[in-house]
Amino acid sequence: MKQAVILAAGEGWRLRPFTVNRPKVMLPVAGKPILQYMVEALAQNGIRNIVMVVGYKREQIFDYMGSGEQLGVDITYVTQAKRLGTAHALAQAREVAQDEFLVLSGDKLIDAATIARFVTVKPEAVLVKRVEGPERYGVATIEDGVVKGIAEQPKEAGSNMVLTRIYAFSREVFDAIETEPAISDVLTKMIARGRPLCACETDGPWLEAVYPWDMLGLNSVVLLKTRAEMGGAVEKGVSLRGQVSVGRDTVIRANSSVVGPVVIGDGCDIGPNACILPATSIGDNVIISPFSEIRNSVIGSDVAIATGCTIQDSVVGNGCSIGGHFTALSDEAEVKVNDAYHSVKLGAMLGEGCSIGSGVVAQPGVILGNYSEVQALKLIRGRLPDKSLVF
């Protein structure tokens, strides 16, 4: 395989509020967009001809990825003007696809090891993985290495082997798409026509962002492979333990403690007497004031966190301003996304540009929409829409 088609046109509405202003493939994980990890994994496996199918907020992908030169790849863009399913997205690449190519969903977190064996297989083939809770995926029935059937998000899964949404196709797949909306429907049609569909199993990292709290799991996995780097300044009395990466022009002030794995971006001001605990990533130009503690969280860029805050298992969007003694403790919570409830251990999910007053307490599992304002000494709970005012 010398070419890959990455499907990156989707919005990710279940990831709101974080996808209101950006496509889901551009969500940050340990300082980089999810999409970048996929491109890097392909490049490490010798695949540098990349077709990227874009749509929702596509300008952000153009601006960040460009021609791909900075990542050692050559990117060709095609547009899915209307998001009519994954098969429709793939069909947009028909004119530029080679005789054989990989297809990947850009919102999946993979590394080079995940696809190392798969890049040598012959079409048509799917990459599968054993997972817990297969009911949220496409479940494959496999006999002697050949896929015999696919059930999308079944109520009861007969197997824990699921599709990773990574495929090896020949141009034959375009003839099978016709009016089918999803690639899984195309595969079912090909199986029914007697076309052998091989299954290749991987045990490499493979995660996806479906709900806002999934960003914490992705962040944690990536941070485990973080290398210690020091691009900033560390004052006297600072304790650095584990793998800690500090960006350019960042200052960690006296008597602060940072326990890795942690990534801190460029131009940040941390402390004094601040505590950054494992599985935390911090964006660029972030201020974390004295006596604040951050644990297992994703903090966006241009965020200001005042004195004495406690933030656990949380995601804070870009441009948030958080007043002193804000508390977002983690606990089991029932979180509603559309009509479904999910039981998760979670702190707070704060969208972009939120203003939080002093002494605010976030109930575990709260999702606060973008550009919301919460006045001092308030308790926030449940799900609040964009531009909410809590007073």
Query: 226: Cβ–Cβ under 8 A, 6 or more apart, which residues?
Result: 30, 243, 245, 260, 261, 262, 263
CATH assignment at residue 62: 3.90.550.10
The CATH number covering residue 296 comes to: 2.160.10.10
Q: Is residue 94 within 8 Å of residue 76, measured between CB atoms?
A: no
252 and 365 within one domain: yes
Same domain, 191 and 243: no
* Mean pLDDT value across the chain: 91
Taking only the tens place, the pLDDT of each residue in 345-384 is 999 999 999 999 999 999 999 999 999 999 999 999 999 9
pLDDT band, residue 130 (cuts 50/70/90): confident
Instruction: Based on the fold, state whether residues 226 and 206 are members of the same structural domain.
Output: no
| Listed range (67-71, 156-160, 252-256, 314-318) with the worst mean pLDDT | 156-160
Residue 217 belongs to a domain: no
Rounded to 5 degrees, what are φ and ψ at 378?
-105, 155
Give yes or no: residues 282 and 184 share one domain: no
Please tell me whether residues 172 and 263 are part of one structural domain. Answer: no
One domain, residues 247 and 353: yes
> Region 242-263: what's the mean pLDDT?
95
- Tell me the C-alpha distance between 294 and 336, whole Å: 25
d(CA 185, CA 87): 8
Distance separating alpha carbons of residues 134 and 339, to the nearest angstrom: 20
Residues 202 and 227 both lie in one domain:
no
Say which DSSP state 363 is in: P
Whether residue 215 is contained in a domain is answered as no
Number of domains comprising the chain: 2
Q: Which domain-ending residue is among 159, 188, 210?
A: 210
Q: How far apart are CA 129 and CA 164, in angstroms?
A: 7
Determine the average pLDDT of the residues in 218-237. Answer: 90
Residue 32 resides in a domain? yes
Q: What is the pTM of this model?
A: 0.88
Q: Is residue 121 a part of any domain in this protein?
A: yes
Structure tokens at 305: 């966190």
- pLDDT at residue 139, as a whole number: 82
CA distance 108 to 196: 26
Q: Are strands 138-143 and 146-152 parallel, antiparallel or unpaired?
A: antiparallel
Q: Is residue 216 part of a domain?
A: no
Tokens coding 29: 């994980």
Residue 366 falls within a domain, yes or no? Answer: yes
Q: pLDDT tens for residues 199-220?
A: 888 887 788 888 899 999 999 9
- Of the listed ranges 73-82, 106-115, 230-239, the one predicted with least confidence: 106-115
Classify residue 368: in a domain, yes or no: yes
Q: Does 135 have pLDDT greater than 80?
A: no
- Of 187, 210, 233, the residue at which a domain comes to its end is 210
31 and 89 in a single domain? The answer is yes
Please give the average per-residue pLDDT across 257-269, as a whole number.
95
Task: State whether 178 and 259 are in the same domain.
Answer: no
Q: Using CA atoms, how far apart are residues 131 and 138, in angstroms rounded to an integer?
A: 11
Structural domain contains residue 379: yes
Condensed to tens digits (0 to 9), the pLDDT of residues 275-323 reads 999 999 999 999 999 999 999 999 999 999 999 999 999 999 999 999 9
Q: Which of 149, 181, 210 corresponds to the end of one domain?
A: 210
CA 97/CA 361 separation, integer angstroms: 52
| Domain that includes residue 267, residue range | 222-390
Q: How far apart are CA 62 and CA 141, in angstroms?
A: 38
Shared domain for 193 and 330, answered yes or no, is no
Sign of the C-alpha dihedral computed for residues 330, 332, 334 and 338 taken in this order:
positive
**Residue 28 and residue 129 share a domain:** yes
Are 200 and 275 within one domain?
Answer: no
pLDDT at 52: 95
